[in-house]
Amino acid sequence: MLLKVALSFLVSFAGLASAAYANPGACSGDCGTHDPAVIRRTSDGKFYRFSTNNFISIASASSIAGPWTYLGQALPGGSKISGFSGVDLWAPDIIYNNGVYYLYYSVSSFGSQNSAIGVATSSTMDPGSWVDHGATGVSSKTGSAYNAIDSNIVKAGNDFYMAFGSFWGDIYQVKMDSGLLKTAGTSSYQIAWTSFGNGAMEGAFIYYRSGYYYLFTSWGNCCQLVPRPAAGTEYHMRVCRSTSATGGFKDKNGVDCKSSGGTTILESHDYVYAPGHGGVIDVPGVGSVLYYHYVNNNQGTNQAATYFGWNVLDWPSDWPVISTGTSTPTTTTKTTTTSRAAQTTTTAATSGNCASLYGQCGGQGFTGAACCSSGTSTIGIRNVSKELIRLYSRRNVVMGFVAQLLRLLVP
């Protein structure tokens, strides 16, 4: 009996000590991104990726793996929302409905709740085709229950709902009107909250599959990464599910998502650091794909940029997990001519003096330097090796303890 216990103990800790996640799928071309939103164009199957900053950067590819080509800006003139003239745009969300693509975006004053969510439309998604419609009716100010950024639209039956929020009251939701340009005029309501990291939850994304709505959220420190935050407090992704799109979300252990519930689906591992703020897309020939941005610890001297990552999902017992298998991404068979432009080069910050990003980089309770430059995150190179040493040291201690236990129990 003791031998069985010891062997079970060994297997359990061996699993914890080894990499729990597959590394991201291949990416070629323009793979730099922050807060990516990905969709396939109905006319030709081409993938389009929208990213925070640069007034929403647009890139396209024939495959989820690339090669990604930078096309230009969605709204180079900025938003028409009053009070936010010239302010950069963040956290895009993209949907398609009845021949029209809807691009939702956030505007905000750094480190505050002075925020709003806008929307633009296009029939092709190419640069130059977007028409800005301005405010959706979702906004916030000091004292609001939430911060009105990080929108995501989900369809349930014939209705559409917008989830949004970052820090403060975390994730809220509101019903949209049938035109998808404004809210339906009903009150918003909370669907998720955590006590983790002073309410460090944002980037909601709701995905429907086989009778369940899955609420993916990103927890922890997305951007203030110099010096490294305490291990485990950096960005990572969690998930809850419900049979309703509008509430009742619980994690795998049955904990309510409004009471700090959330099952971890992706976190730092191997060279991947602080993965988060993405979504799920169905890729023909591959399956459900979780996409996100992450910091690459193998970047050499440039330890700042965030990159596009993706992994295939498996669904044991109707819960998403990162697949350990390999899949070949599908390449579209149709191609169309798209506009091309040279992407503006952004120099990543190497210290605490850098341009501000949004959300919890300057969110509730934040008092540090604004260390988030256009679509990038800064981390301390000197800390990478220390974190790896601590990781392997913990693993070796555990495995050494198990080995000693087996020596005592096995003749």
Residues acting as catalytic residues: 35, 202
- CA 411, CA 139: separation in Å to the nearest integer? 69
Going by C-alpha positions, the residue among 267, 304, 351, 378 that lies closest to residue 19 is 267
State which H helix or E strand residue 314 sits in: strand 306-314
Residue ranges of E strands in 56-158:
57-61, 69-73, 90-97, 100-108, 115-122, 131-140, 152-156
Going by C-alpha positions, the residue among 20, 101, 27, 64 that lies closest to residue 287 is 64
State which H helix or E strand residue 204 sits in: strand 201-209
385, 321, 44, 34 alpha-carbon torsion, rounded to 10°: -40
- CA 21, CA 264: separation in Å to the nearest integer? 11
SS3 readout for 245-291: CCCCCECCCCCEHHHCCCEEEECCECCEEEEEEEEEEEECCCEEEEE
Q: How far apart are the first and last CA of the chain?
A: 14
- CA 152, CA 10: separation in Å to the nearest integer? 42
Q: Please tell me the total number of residues recorded for the chain in this structure.
A: 411
